Amino acid sequence: MSVNSYSSLCDDFYIDMFVNTELDLPAERDTVLTYFDRIQRQYPRMGRFVRRDNNEYYLEEDHGTGQYRWVSLEVDRIGSGVVNPASFEEAYQQDKLILELIPYMLGVTPLDVDSLDVTFAMDFDCAGNHDEVIAEALFANSAVGCLLDLPNSRPIVFSPSMVLSLSENERTQVRVCVESKTSIFEPGEKDRGDEAISLTLTVRQYPQTDERFDPVASFERQCQLAEEVMAERIIRHFVQPLTEVIAQRRST
């Protein structure tokens, strides 16, 4: 499937990468600015530089177009992503640049990598109670669905999340999460219907203990695996049921 195929099924589509490190990352002024300046020279439209809480730094493009890039530097995590990319390769090229820069600009060697994440995410604009939509779309015909038949039963916390191992040594893992933004935790609290239901698929790779970790080669394998799982499992069994229920509710 192409990026356009994914984009046609949701309101926003994201491709993100995160490098999780064992040691804290450099926070000196010169190191941080030199790193982000190098990225901006590659992508000149990334002109919004922000420092957030806990010394987290972000370099972003303007969000107003609905299609933008971002990179981040946190205490022990390096991030890179593209929102609504024109192609897979557009996002992958940025992520590979980050992987090539961090060894000599941030001192991140293969020994320092705790894990590498590749995430595909979709947002679905949805008014009303997200939990009810998720319950109807994903659980109506499941064992959990029988609980929805209880008197006065109403879903109020339905954000399923699961992690699966795809290797014998459990170092290749897949996490699937569907997140509601309207869960009600206090009696009488009103729904917030102005946000989106989010679906994320993350392929995480932990370095093998008996060989030197190659971040770029691992990234390429993880991207391929993420594309396969999305196309063969997630679209049919998660995305299509969600979009069908959302469409039904919009039409009523």
Q: Domain map of the chain by residue range?
A: 3-251
- pLDDT, position 184: 60
pLDDT category at 183 given cuts 50, 70, 90 is low
Neighbours of 239 (CB within 10 A): 19
- pLDDT, position 192: 52
- Average pLDDT of every residue of the chain: 92
Residues 6 or more apart from 243 whose CB is under 8 A from it?
Answer: 9, 10, 124
Q: What share of the chain is helix, strand, coil (3-state, %, to 5)?
A: 40, 25, 35
pLDDT surpassing 70 at residue 57: yes
Q: What is the C-alpha separation between 121 and 119, in angstroms, rounded?
A: 6
Structure confidence by residue, pLDDT tens digits, 202-212: 999 999 988 99
pLDDT surpassing 70 at residue 88: yes
Grouping H, G, I as helix, E, B as strand and the rest as coil, residue 73 is strand
Burial zone of 53 (CB within 10 Å; 0-12 exposed, 13-18 middle, 19+ buried): exposed
- Report the C-alpha dihedral over residues 98, 110, 119, 222, rounded to 10 degrees: 110
SS (H, E, C) 202-223: EEEECCCCCCCCCHHHHHHHHH
Structure confidence by residue, pLDDT tens digits, 135-166: 999 988 888 778 878 888 788 888 999 999 99
